[in-house]
Structure 1
Amino acid sequence: MPPIILFILKALEGRGAERMVTTLASAYAVMGYRVHILCLEETQDMLLDSRVHYHIVPYAEVFSEQNIEPTSTQSKAYETVARRIDHYVFSRIGTPDLILANIYKINWIMAYSQLPNIVNVVHTALSKQFQHQLLEAPVQTINHLKMVYGTHACSCVSEGARQDLISLIGQITKTTTIYNPCDAASISSNAAQRPRIEQFGLIDKGYIIHVASFDSMKGHRDLLQAYAKSKRKLPLVLVGKGRLEAEIKQLAFQLDISDCVKFLGFQINPYPLIASAALMVLTSKFEGFGYVIIEAQALGVPVISTDCPFGPRELLPTKSLIAVGDIDGLAMLIDYAIDNLTRYIVPLNHQLLPKNIAYQYLAFGSVLSLDKN
């Protein structure tokens, strides 16, 4: 029987980690593996390859069936969730040859798991994600992170994120850097599908685009403030959803740029919008990787970004980067890039194609198995 690959994550929401999972799952399915995705919530914004088996082990059932009290500690609750996942996997899926556990909450849960061949995939800069906790309770926070990320091997989506992890917990487990995969062929195909940009009142190469959830780490406030200071030669298109969307709309109104900024919400297929943009802008305060950068590269779209920890500086040249928080500098870079678009086109690194990334995870998993033997 072909080997079993299992991905575990909270839900198939429309974020970078979920794009990594769905892209890599499809690659393994094409390679002939038995591929499973297990989620703890039913939210599904991402399309899934029909060859990939999809499972839900919801939180609610775990708490109700195991009689976990609301006052119980989170650790005890997560230990119960882990036991439920273990039972489900062994009884419904089998023994996985590789398990890729994604996102901090899942990494914490799987620290209690007895399943074999687990690799934690670290998608972000942990020192930034836990910045407040590290300031308020440094010893407790670091001990907690050692428990979460020291139990299993860790693969980080950028070298910066890997070094950040090591600086926090030390070299207490095996680590590696494996970038996120980019399915250039699928992205190009999707870029030719709906939605057509005309339905949003846009014209080809006639706008700037920013694709991200409305979260503080994505830097929407800095983007709008910089855009307001720029010459505004092209409208700004924001694609995404999130808790800060209303606040950012209000900011656009306050800056008197509402007529130049379009809010298009979450798009299950954002690639027609990306492909037709004159320029992609990323303004994150921190990232593990910066998925939209390589997606724009796959479509030949110029990209500029904040030089945030840690991914963009590994994907773009220095001329394409501006310091986080430099509003005036970002405004000038936007204007200069619009006038010199070809200078900001960076070809996609073909080592990021899904099959190549899939083999890197298999190789890392093989090393771990040899170490155990």
Structure 2
Amino acid sequence: MKNILFITHNLKGGGIQKITLDTARYYSKNGYNVNILTFEKGLDFNIDFTCQHSTLSLVNFLFKNPHLGFYYIIYKLILRYLFPDSEPLWQAPIYKKMLINFLKDKEEFEAIFINGSRSMNRLYSLNLPNMVFSLHLPCRYALKDNIYYNYIFKKIFSNVKVFTVSNFILQPILNKAKRLNVDIKAIETIYNPCDKINFNLKGNESIDISEPFILAVGRLCSQKRFDLLIDAYKQSNIKTKLVILGEGNQRENLEKQISQLHLSDQILLKGFDCNPYKWMKKCQFFVLSSDIEGFVLVINEALACGAPVIATDCGPVTEILVGKLKNGIVPKGDVTALSSKIIEYSERPIYPDNDSVDKLSFASITKSQLMLAKK
């Protein structure tokens, strides 16, 4: 049986964590021996497939290696404040040793997929032949231009294989690599996969609301701009309820905002749900209000469930909402534009056709991933 390894920071509720599990599930169902490695405990999703899930404890590793423990304390207390965004310089040597220890008694993996910028920052220096990094958000080291950030960019991207989940993320990396003459072993865009059949099956589960509703899904954090969505909803003055799925550090602020706007009966913060598809399939339409995103998997999921989509122009949405669907795109940060589009879609929603997400099948996407690992 072929072995495959996925590495990500944790498996708490989030887009990278979810796509890691969804992709791992596909490999498992297709005969692979799947291993998942995280560096932090926590599990918000149901692992409903055969796999080996391991968590590497940084504390235990440093306890067994006190010289590295002292080094790590210096980083946490001093270096990270003197040198912002410098995790790839200081933490990478520790995590490299941790992963080497993990791999030494394991069978050979056909591919090792390291998902997310945090994991890439920690493990880029190991650089095994079958190792592939994936980036799901714009890379800060590609976007900032000075000697310091250029140095870190060169350290991370020299001689690695990496895919980004949108051209929006890819292009700044390519531009900077060319300008700095950085030799990236292989880099391309591979979109996140989308299982339309499975989503629709899960969409048949019942929900605890029977009346029409608008839906938004995501971590309750500042990036997602649910505060903007709430203001736009208020301005629209529509009577259809707004359901928001997710948890995060902005919950208290959003609850206060909803209360101040006298919308407690209209806007429902339903918390995290590991099956958002049952909501997507039944909503009147879906709204994404983010300031910035790397791929917006949630848009494809909503489309796969047949939901009309409104989205702020927060990155790669123009790669996804094409043709008639691009009518749903509004400028980011614009409360009035979002409010007007909510009113419009309440009256005339634009539904996706069957071809909207077929190009994102797991069979096609995983084939591209494996081909990159074998380059």
The within-5 A match list for 1:75-154 is 75-91=89-105, 93-113=106-126, 115-127=128-140, 134=144, 138-154=146-162
Once the two structures are superposed, the pairs formed by residues 320-359 of structure 1 within 5 Å of their partners are: 320-341=328-349, 343-347=350-354, 348-359=356-367
Q: Secondary structure at 1:197's aligned position in 2?
A: coil
Match of 1:304 in 2: 310
In 2, Cα distance between the equivalents of 1:49 and 1:115?
Answer: 30
The code of the aligned residue for 2:183 comes to I
Task: Say which SS state the counterpart of residue 12 (structure 1) adopts.
Answer: coil
Corresponding residue number in structure 1 for 2:2: 3
Distance 1:157 1:274 in 2: 22
Partner of 2:35: 36
Checking the alignment, whether the CA contact within 8 Å between 2:114 and 2:120 is kept in structure 1 is yes
Q: 1:159 to 1:300 in 2, by over 3 A?
A: same
User: Counterparts of 1:43 and 1:319 in 2: how far apart (Å)?
Assistant: 39
Quote the Cα distance in structure 1 between the aligned partners of 2:224 and 2:285.
17
Alignment match of 1:172 (pick from 159, 183, 205): 183
Contact 1:157 1:289 in 2 (8 A): yes
Aligned residues: 352
Contact 1:66 1:80 in 2 (8 A): no
Contact 2:161–2:373 (CA under 8 A) maintained in structure 1: no
Instruction: String of CA shifts for 1:109-142, please: whole Å, max 9, x gaps.
Output: 1112254311110101224x987xx3xx832123
Pick one of 197, 204, 209 that aligns with 2:207: 197
Aligned identity (percent) is 24
| Contact 2:92–2:124 (Cα < 8 Å) also in 1 | no
Flag structure 1 segments of 5+ consecutive residues without an equivalent. 369-373
Given the two structures, how large is their TM-score scaled by the length of structure 1? 0.89
Give the TM-score normalised by structure 2.
0.88
Structure 2 counterpart of 1:371: none
User: What is the CA RMSD across the aligned residues, in angstroms?
Assistant: 1.9
Does 2:194 match 1:182? Answer: yes
SS at match of 2:109: coil
Q: SS at 2:248's partner residue?
A: coil
- The 8 Å contact of residues 316 and 346 in structure 1, kept in 2 or not, is answered as no
Question: What residue in structure 2 maps to residue 163 of structure 1?
Answer: 171
SS of corresponding position for 1:182: coil
For 1:226, the equivalent position in structure 2 comes to: 232
CA distance in 1, matches of 2:187, 2:221: 28
Aligned counterparts of 2:161 and 2:142: Cα–Cα separation in 1: 20
Of stretches 140-149 and 8-17 in structure 1, the one that deviates more from structure 2 is: 140-149
**1:260-282 deviation digits (Å, cap 9, x = unpaired):** 11011111222212211111001
> Alignment partner for residue 241 of structure 1, among 247, 261, 275?
247
Residue 313 of structure 1 aligns with an amino acid whose one-letter code is: T
Cα offset, 1:286, TM superposition: 0.9
Contact 2:142 2:153 in 1 (8 A): no
Provide the secondary structure at the position in 2 that maps to 1:99. Answer: strand
Please tell me the residue identity of whatever aligns with 2:348: N
* Large movers: runs of 4+ above 6 Å: none
Deviation at 1:346, TM superposition (A): 4.5
Tell which deviates more after alignment, 178-187 or 347-356: 347-356
Q: Which residue of 2 aligns with 1:24?
A: 23
Q: Is the 8 A contact 1:40 1:57 kept in 2?
A: yes
List gaps (5 residues or longer) in structure 2: 80-86
Q: Are 1:270 and 2:276 counterparts?
A: yes
CA distance in 2, matches of 1:22, 1:141: 32
Aligned mates of 1:181, 1:82 — CA distance in 2: 29
Shift of residue 328, structure 1, vs aligned partner: 0.5
User: Residue type of the partner of 1:149?
Assistant: F
| Alignment match, 2:74 | 71
